[in-house]
């Protein structure tokens, strides 16, 4: 059985710590990158430092009663999993999000004027009343998106 020469043993001992140091440095660097990405927190502006405002609301199906009167209002029913779009004056989609289980949504956008609309995958022919909103930096605009139920 061949035995290791003293010179080969010294090389092996030196190589192991170097490899371990490189591995340790790589793992620590990766952990630092992941930690800084997670610790960033909520955004207060766009990536280029521009301030943003927030659009918050709900997607509602309405009307939900065959006859709705002032004395007998019929509130809209929240719709979950509906894509909500914020479209600028040039027709560009600037933000999109999905409504949650209670129909709620929120999105951060640059200051400006937007039209909110919804896209319903299951029934693309369903009518959605577009809503115009003006967003100011650092403020929250409350606006609901109403989807026509078809009840008359």
Q: 146, 120 in Cβ contact below 8 A?
A: no
Question: Tokens representing 71?
Answer: 């004395």
Q: What is the pLDDT of residue 41?
A: 38
pTM to 2 decimals? 0.63
Question: Tokens representing 136?
Answer: 């100011």
Clarify whether residues 136 and 75 are in a common domain: yes
Clarify whether residues 95 and 21 are in a common domain: no
Angle 134-74-126 from CA coordinates, rounded to 5°: 60
Q: What is the CATH number of the domain that holds 136?
A: 2.60.40.10
Clarify whether residues 77 and 35 are in a common domain: no
**Average pLDDT for consecutive 10-residue bins of the chain (152 residues)?**
62 57 53 42 48 96 77 84 96 96 97 93 75 97 90 68
């Amino acid at each position: 059985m061949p035995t290791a020469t003293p010179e080969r043993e010294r090389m092996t001992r030196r190589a192991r710590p170097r490899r371990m140091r490189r591995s340790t440095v790589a793992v620590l660097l990766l952990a630092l990158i992941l930690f800084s990405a997670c610790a960033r927190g909520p955004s207060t502006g766009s990536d280029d430092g521009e301030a943003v405002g927030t659009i918050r609301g709900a997607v509602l199906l309405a009307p939900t009663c065959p006859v709705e009167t002032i004395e007998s209002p019929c509130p809209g029913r929240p719709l979950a999993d509906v894509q909500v779009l914020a479209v600028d004056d040039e027709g560009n989609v600037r933000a999109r999000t999905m409504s949650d289980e209670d129909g709620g949504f929120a999105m951060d956008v640059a200051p400006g004027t937007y039209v909110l609309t919804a896209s319903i995958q299951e029934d693309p022919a369903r009518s959605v009343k577009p809503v115009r909103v003006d967003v100011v930096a650092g403020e929250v605009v409350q606006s609901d998106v109403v989807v026509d139920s078809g009840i008359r």
